[in-house]
Amino acid sequence: EFPSQMEAEELDKHPACGPEGDKPVKAAFDAPFYIAFNNLDLSMVNDSRLPSLTGIPIGWGCIYELAYDAYEDPKYAWLLRQIEEAHPAREREFPALPMSVQGGMFKAFELDILRLRRTTWPEGSFQWSDECSVSLTGRHTRGCSLLPTTGVAVLRNHPERSDGANLHMHWGPHVAGHQSPSALHIDLHAGGSRLTDAPCSGGYDDPAYLSWVRTTIAHNTVTVDQRPMYPYHKCGDSIWEAERWHGRPSGGVLIGFQPGEEFSAVRAANDN
C-alpha cells in the first residue's frame, strides 16, 4: 500500500490523490472494471485507444495474469476468460499461447511467457450487481460506479444485460499533456455499442490533432463562446499542454451521484 495524501488536506482532491490513508496497489487493477460499460466496452475519452477491456493485452501485455497470481481475485480470472474468448486462437500468431503474449503493441510481450505461472485460469466470476468500494473514495452501488478522485461516473441501466443502456461522465482534470480537452464529456452506450464517442486523431502528425481534436465542440460536452476548454483555451503549435502552465486546475466538481433502482443520475459542474 502507498500513502494517498501527497498534498495539504485543503488542496484540490485530484492532484492530492484523495483523502488521508493508504491505497492498495490492487485498486489499480480493480478500477478499470468500474469504468467499463456492461459489455466491457470503454469510453474513448481523453484520446484513449482502448475500446474494450478485452483489448488490454494488446497494449499492456500480461498485467492481469500477474494480478491474478498476486491476489487470486476471481474477477481477474473472469476477465482473462473474456479476453481469451474475444480473440479466437485461429486468429493468433501463436494459437497455443494466451492472448497476452501474442505481441500486441510491443513485440517484447512475447517474452512475457517466461513470467507466467500458468496459461489457463479458473472460470472466475464478476457481477455488476455486487456492491463494493474501490480504493479509498470510489464506490459501486446498484450497478452504478463513482470514482470521484478521477472525476468519472458510470450509470448502468439493467447492469446484468450486456446490451443495457450506460452513461459515462467525465468531470476530472486534464490528466496528460498530449490529451484533448474533455471536462464534462458524456458518452452514451446502448445495445452493445457506443452511441457517442470522443474524437480520435490519426496520431501526432494528423493535422486535426492541433485543430479539431483540441476544440471543445468536437467533444460531447458544453461549449461556451465557441472556444476550446481550458487548458486548450489558447492556440499553439505544440502537441503538449498542461494546466500547471496556466496556474489553475482544470477539473470540475461533483454535485451529486444518485444510483437508484428506477432512476439514476450524476451531476457535475466546471467553470473553467
Instruction: Report d(CA 117, CA 98) in Å as an integer.
Output: 12
Which residues, including other chains, have CB under 8 Å from residue 238's CB and lie 6 or more apart? Answer: none
- By C-alpha distance, which of 49, 76, 52 is closest to 63? 76
Residue 239's pLDDT is what? 80
Residue 181's pLDDT is what? 75
Q: Is the pLDDT of residue 14 over 90?
A: no
Residue identified by cell 498530449 is 178
More confident residue, 69 or 16: 69
**131-272 maps to which CATH number?**
2.70.98.70
What one-character-per-residue DSSP string does 34-92 give? HHS-TTSB---TTT----BGGGHHHHHTTHHHHHHHHH--HHHHHHHHHHHHHS-GGGS
Residue 210's pLDDT is what? 81
Which residues, including other chains, have CB under 8 Å from residue 261's CB and lie 6 or more apart? Answer: 142
Residue 1's pLDDT is what? 54
Q: What is the pLDDT of residues 82-141, one digit of tens each?
A: 999 998 888 888 888 888 877 666 666 666 777 788 888 899 999 998 999 998 889 999
Mean pLDDT of 22-27: 82
Q: What is the pLDDT of residues 45-76, one digit of tens each?
A: 877 778 899 988 877 878 899 999 999 999 99
> Do 228 and 213 contact (CB within 8 A), yes or no?
no
Q: Are strands 22-23 and 132-134 parallel, antiparallel or unpaired?
A: unpaired
Instruction: Report d(CA 59, CA 66) in Å as an integer.
Output: 15
Q: Is 76 exposed, middle or buried (0-12, 13-18, 19+ CB in 10 A)?
A: buried
Residue 233's pLDDT is what? 82
